[in-house]
Structure 1
Amino acid sequence: MNKDEVMSQLEALGSEKVREMHARHGACENQFGVKMGDLRTLAKSIKLNHSLALELWQTGNLDAMLLATLLMRPKEFSLEELDAMVAALTSSLLADWLGTHVIKLHPQKEQLRQRWMQSDQPMTQRAGWSLTTERIIKSPQGLDLAALLDRIEAELGSAPALAQWTMNYSLAEIGIHFPEHRERALAIGEKLGVFRDYPTPKGCTSPYAPLWIAVIVNRQG
Structure 2
Amino acid sequence: MKGREGEHWTVDDVLAELRSSGSDTNRAGMARFGIEIDQAFGVPMSVLRPLAKEIGRSPELARELWATGFHEARLLAILLTPAKAMTSEQALTWLEDIGSWDLCDQLTNILARRADSNALVPKLALDEREFVKRAAFALIAWRAVHAKKAPDAEFLEDLELIRKASSDGRNFVWKAVHWALRQIGKRSAQLHGPALALALELQASDDKTTRRVGKEAVKELDSEKVRRRLGLLSR
In structure 2, the partner of 1:203 is none
Deviations, residues 160-197 of structure 1 (Å, cap 9, x unaligned) = 4322222111222344443432552341342233269x
The 2-side partners of 1:179 and 1:78 are apart by 31
1:142 aligns with 2:160: no
CA distance in 2, matches of 1:57, 1:37: 20
Output the CA distance in 2 between the equivalents of 1:56 and 1:171: 33
TM (norm. structure 1) is 0.80
Question: Is the 2:57–2:80 contact (alpha carbons within 8 Å) kept by the matching residues of 1?
Answer: yes
- Partners of 2:159 and 2:122 lie apart in 1 by 16
Name which of structure 1's ranges 10-19 and 152-161 shifts more when overlaid on structure 2.
152-161
**For residue 143 of structure 1, what is the amino acid of its counterpart?**
E
Tell me the TM-score normalized by structure 2: 0.76
Q: Distance in 2 between matches of 1:49 and 1:73?
A: 8
Post-superposition, which runs of at least 4 consecutive aligned residues in structure 1 deviate over 4 A? Answer: none
Task: Give the C-alpha shift of residue 66 in structure 1.
Answer: 0.9
CA distance 1:122–1:98, change in 2 (3 Å) = same
Aligned length: 209
Structure 1: gaps spanning 5 or more residues = 197-206
Q: Distance in 1 between matches of 2:119 and 2:164?
A: 24
Do the aligned residues in 2 keep the contact of 1:79 with 1:112 (CA within 8 Å)?
yes
Please give the alpha-carbon distance, in whole angstroms, between the structure 2 residues aligned to 1:186 and 1:74. 31
TM-aligned CA deviation for residue 126 of structure 1: 1.6
Q: Does the alignment pair 1:193 with 2:211?
A: yes
The offset of 1:135, in angstroms, is 4.1
RMSD of aligned C-alpha atoms? 2.6
Contact 1:153–1:188, Cα closer than 8 Å, also in 2: no
Which residue matches 2:5? none
Which ranges in structure 2 are unaligned for 5 or more consecutive residues? Answer: 1-8, 205-209
Correspondent of 1:127 among 117, 124, 135: 135
Match of 2:194 among 181, 192, 211: 181
Distance in 1 of aligned mates of 2:173 and 2:120 = 16
Cα offset, 1:32, TM superposition: 1.0
- Residue 155 of structure 1: which of 159, 165, 190 is its match? 165
